[in-house]
Chain A
Amino acid sequence: MKADVDAPLTPSGLGRLLRRPRFGGKMGGAAEFVVIPALALAASLVLFGIFVALFGKNPLDLYFYMYQGAFGTWFSWQNTLTRAAPLILTALCTALPAQLGMVIIGGEGALLIGALCSTAAALALQEAPSLFVDLAMAGAGMVGGGLWIMLSGALRQYRGVNETISSLLLVYIALAILNYLVEGPMRDPTSLNKPSTRDIGAANMIGSIPGTDVHWGFVFGIIAAVLSYILIYHTVFGFAARVAGGNIRAAKVVGLSVGKLILVICFLAGAAAGLAGMMEVAAVQGRTNANLAAGYGFAGILVAFLARQNPLAVIPVSILLGGIGASGGLLQRRLGLPDASVLVLQGVIFVMVLASDSLYGRLPFLQRKAP
């Protein structure tokens, strides 16, 4: 019965659990988190290549242009990173509450409210020195966005409202508030055909990272992602959040204050998206108007799920999606593909990554043999 002898080597059951604490096992686990998404990505690209070939285009051209448009030149890299910048922050808006088992998909709303609050702060402080104005903008944007998502958390905690639905619906309320303020009380009377707030002033604009076109939102995004990672995986608070996310009853039994965890995490999540909104105003648009509702919040959901809700993984995934966005233009121009083809690719990647979840712990070459 050779099979029986081999049985403990298969990646299932007790044998695997026992191997877990070992260093080698840990390495195998980490490798899985890199290799499996990479395989899923490669499979998506192959599928997309077949899809494109059906339209009579050469898939090799496709890969070349995708690479060139996203990472092939220094300009392409800047294009990619610029597009990635807001995604890191909005992805955290979904990834942080996910630690508690909550599915928040309303980052777009927090981004819009953050943008409005930061614009209001800048307009109220026109006389102040620009560093102070920028700090006030960041503070206002983060508090505004934070409270917005905290509202979803509070509705869930105190009224039992599903946070996924409430955060999504709050996006439309945020958009309505933005449109009302921009077309009414906060409107710059000279913005005739494009209702906007007043300009925050050129002096208050945050420039780009020296030597690049990429604005500072990218750096703040990375800082926020790293801080989130430390908070979730290396603090008592983060441990408590993960316990509550794993089993909310157990968390309550051991005396964790679940309500407080939900509110604080939701606030931090919203603050990240609010900061993204502030950066869009302070580094790109210079004012608030309907342009801000560009879907960064919704793209962030995709990033968070692709990153398996890991705050650190959000960074490379944002860059990947930024790159797909950056190369999308080149695909349209060189291959004559419609814009929707990029959405097809994003959809394929999303499905493949989710489907590849079932592979964890099952790929023999990634499992360490038992000693």
Chain B
Amino acid sequence: MNLDKISRRRVLQGTAALTLGTALPLKRAAAADTTVGFIYVGSRDDYGYNQAHAAGAAALKSMPGVKIVEEEKVPETEAVEKTMESMINLDGATLLFPTSFGYYNPHMIKMALKYPKLRFEHCGGLWTDKDPKNAGSYFGYIDEAQHVSGIVAGRMTKSGKLGFVAAKPIPQVLRNINSFTMGARLANPKVTLQVIFTGDWSMPVKEAESTNSLIDQGVDVITCHVDGPKTVVENAARRGAMVCGYHVNQAVLAPQAYLSGAEWNWEVLYPRFVKMFTSGETIPNFYRGGLKEEIVKVSPYGPMVSAEARKHADEVKAALTAGTYVIFKGPLVDNKGKTVIAGGVSRGQTDPELEKMDYLVEGVIGATS
């Protein structure tokens, strides 16, 4: 056989195929009035951060004239820019939800500048008036739900020791830890909470080790703030501890151990945003809310939660929903004895000082650095 001839023929065939392929018209996704793109940093079924967003996206599927395109496990690099552009160019998406915190700057900003007619909505509450007007960032005061969940934990603990598996000592996480602890100590002032920082958002092995080590120290209620709470919840339940969930309802993973939890309520927010978008209304660039605005919610209490715990938690939840209750008010002392909010000062949810939180309140065992 003559190799040269074969390869020449192959090359010609290949070139022809390539030309044909390039000439094929771009096959767009099925026609829809509005195509909405969702991008997740992790897996859509992580029982956590990404699943909460995917549940919000799923809530749009029943809306007429709205088509959803989704992509999971997109890293916070140029890859997410290309994913956004691919959704725009190949799927015709006009509204995009890059949901991970690290997608915002520089990636989403860059795309918002490049496609000024399209709308970009980011989860994290980072928008400032220096950023493009077609970009927005929303977030929820999930510490309200954590506070209620903490009350349940404080009522239900027998050892008086709670445990918290946290990713990084950043303001958002510290606020959840503090709010949960303050809720627990409202229910039982003797309660302490041991916190362990794993160092990153998704570290299943460290999360399991932390859970075990907390239980070995006598902790009997565990909660967490990591991207996927599945490991923590399942391990805690297996060891006989009670758990409070985070991000989404994890009761299915541990029906006999799941007390309550702090959940996102994107199923309510996303249809609200998409309705604004399709009706030509402008989605606010900066959008935040808590229980009152239905951006966060508290998981239904587990069957083992006592009547008094339910009653106490429901009271505070009602007050938070009515907007008459402030979690962070003075005098508030951190776990080193320093006063962080002076007596008489009341820091409501929208107070920007809370965004800079760098302390752990009294009752938390652990350090931010």
* Contacts from A to B (Cβ < 8 Å): 27-28, 31, 64, 67-69, 71-73, 75-76, 79, 82-83, 179, 183-184, 192-195, 213, 215, 280, 284-286, 289-292, 294-295, 325-326, 329-330, 332-334, 338-339, 365-366
Task: Please name all residues of chain A whose beta carbon is closer than 8 Å to the beta carbon of B43 when the two chains form the complex.
Answer: 338-339
Encode contact with A along B23-37: 1 for CB under 8 Å, 0 otherwise: 010110100000000
The residue from B1, B85, B199 contacting A75, defined by CB atoms under 8 A apart: B85
Shortest distance in angstroms between B45's beta carbon and chain A's nearest beta carbon? Answer: 9
Question: Contact: B75 with A291, CB < 8 Å?
Answer: yes
| Residues on the B chain within 8 Å of A67, using CB | 21
- Judge whether A284 and B77 touch: CB under 8 Å: yes
Tell whether, in the assembled complex, residue B106 and residue A333 are in contact, meaning their CB atoms are under 8 Å apart. no
By the criterion CB–CB under 8 Å, are A330 and B106 in contact? no
Give chain A's interface secondary structure class.
helix
Residue on A with the closest CB to B79? A83
Residues of A within 8 A of B77 (CB): 280, 284-285, 291-292, 294
Answer whether residue B355 sits at the interface, using C-beta atoms and an 8 A cutoff: yes
Which one of B148-156, B167-175, B205-213, B238-246 contacts A? B167-175
Whether A284 contacts B3 by the Cβ 8 Å rule is no
In the bound assembly, the distance between CA atoms of A82 and B102 in angstroms comes to 19
Closest 6 CB pairs of A and B: A339-B73, A291-B76, A294-B75, A333-B69, A79-B82, A294-B77
Report B-chain residues with C-beta under 8 Å of the C-beta of A75.
Answer: 85-86, 89-90
- Whether A333 lies near B101 (C-beta < 8 A) is no
Residues of B within 8 Å of A292, CB to CB, are 77
Cα A82 to Cα B80 with chains together (Å): 12
13 contacts between A and B (CB under 8 A): A82-B78, A82-B82, A192-B172, A192-B356, A193-B170, A284-B77, A291-B75, A291-B102, A294-B76, A330-B86, A332-B70, A365-B1, A365-B3
On whether A83 and B106 interact (CB within 8 A), knowing A73-B89, A193-B170, A334-B29, the answer reads no
Min CB–CB distance B68 → chain A (angstroms): 9
Q: Quick check: is B98 within 8 A (CB to CB) of the other chain?
A: no
Nearest-neighbor residue (CB-CB) of A286 within chain B: B106
Given A332-B72, A333-B70, the answer on whether A192 and B355 have CB atoms closer than 8 Å is yes
- The answer to whether the Cβ of B315 comes within 8 Å of any Cβ in the partner chain is no
B101 touches A68 (CB 8 A): no
Would you give the 0/1 interface string for B86-106, flagging 1 where the beta carbon is closer than 8 Å to chain A? Answer: 110111000000000110001
Interface centre among A69, A179, A291 (most CB of B within 10 A): A291
Given contacts A284-B77, A286-B106, list 14 more A-B pairs with CB under 8 A. Answer: A31-B3, A69-B86, A71-B21, A75-B86, A75-B90, A82-B78, A183-B168, A192-B356, A194-B102, A292-B77, A329-B86, A333-B69, A333-B87, A365-B1
Query: Which chain A residue lies CB-closest to B78?
Result: A284
Q: How far is the CA of A285 from the CA of B74 in the complex (A)?
A: 15
Compute how far the CA of A31 lies from the CA of B7 in the bound complex, rounded to whole angstroms: 9
B294 at the A interface (CB under 8 A): no
Answer whether residue B334 sits at the interface, using C-beta atoms and an 8 A cutoff: no
B91 touches A73 (CB 8 A): no
Q: Which residues of B contact A71 (CB under 8 A)?
A: 21
Closest to B173 in A: A193
Interface residues in B1-56 by Cβ distance below 8 A to A read 1, 3, 7, 21-22, 24, 26-27, 29, 43-44
B83 at the interface (CB under 8 A from A): yes
Q: Cβ of B22 and Cβ of A72 under 8 Å apart?
A: yes
Select from chain A the residue with minimum beta-carbon distance to B87. A333
Complex Cα distance A192/B170, Å? 7
B71 within 8 A of A: yes
Q: Indicate if the CB atoms of B171 and A27 lie closer than 8 Å.
A: no
